Amino acid sequence: MSNYTLHYSSITKKIIMSLVGLFLITFLFLHLGINLTLLEKFRPGGSTDTFNIAAHFMGTNIVIKVFEVVLFGGFLIHILFGLILQIQNWMARPARYKIEGWSHTSPFSKFMIHTGALIFIFLVIHLLDFYFKAKVFGDIGSVTIDGKEYHDMGALVLAKFQSIGFVIFYVVLFIFLGFHLHHAFQSAFQTLGLNHSKYTPFIKGLSTIISIILPVGYAIIPLVIYFNS
């Protein structure tokens, strides 16, 4: 393959990665919103009913089911293309493939493959613990809400976060997720050519806000569960 072809196929992969990455960030907000309903349990007289109903809706609604296929496919494409680009980058040393620009000045940009690998390991453990345990292995209790039976996903999450090791693992991972997102969000706009001296500072600011809001929002869940159970 000529350098020219390689260069352009790399850019295509980067564009696809960026679009998929922005979609994955949307998922992270949706997932966080649903997970935060778990905290209702810690209000006086509270329960995990809203969370269980939301988790059930997520598992049965046809639109969400299609979304789930796109989501898993999105994760795979993002990981695969990220790996290929990184390997190409390593092989092209010292004349590395590089797009000059402000997003590459971020110290987080140097560790995208490392933080990405940690998130991947987290994802495998996370899916085995929750998603596959409930959906594939059926290894989960049930609860009746208003006469209807639901998977007791809430009890599963509450039980998991009784362990301090598990809580620390999650919180540390969320910090790395923040590092990954801090560069990822602004870099996606750069790759898509949506950088402009007027809007770039806004996108950079938004990137910082997202990289704080999402990890803090996610970390609150195991911490509240652990310290209130």
Binding site for ligand HEM (CB under 6 A): 31, 35, 55, 58-59, 68, 71, 119, 123, 126-127, 130-131, 134-135, 153, 157, 170, 177, 218, 221-222
**Other C-beta atoms within 10 Å of 1: how many?**
7
**Structure-block tokens of residue 146:** 């208003």
CB of 117 to ligand HEM, least distance (A): 13
Cβ closer to ligand HEM: 58 or 206?
58
8 Å CB contact between 138 and 151: no
- Between CA 199 and CA 28 the distance in angstroms is 24
CB of 81 to ligand HEM, least distance (A): 17
Cβ closer to ligand HEM: 165 or 193?
165
Give helix then strand counts, H and E, for the chain.
8, 2
Cis peptide bond prior to 215, omega within 30° of 0 = no
CB of 64 to ligand HEM, least distance (A): 8
8 Å CB contact between 21 and 188: yes
CB of 28 to ligand HEM, least distance (A): 6
Cβ closer to ligand HEM: 8 or 132?
132
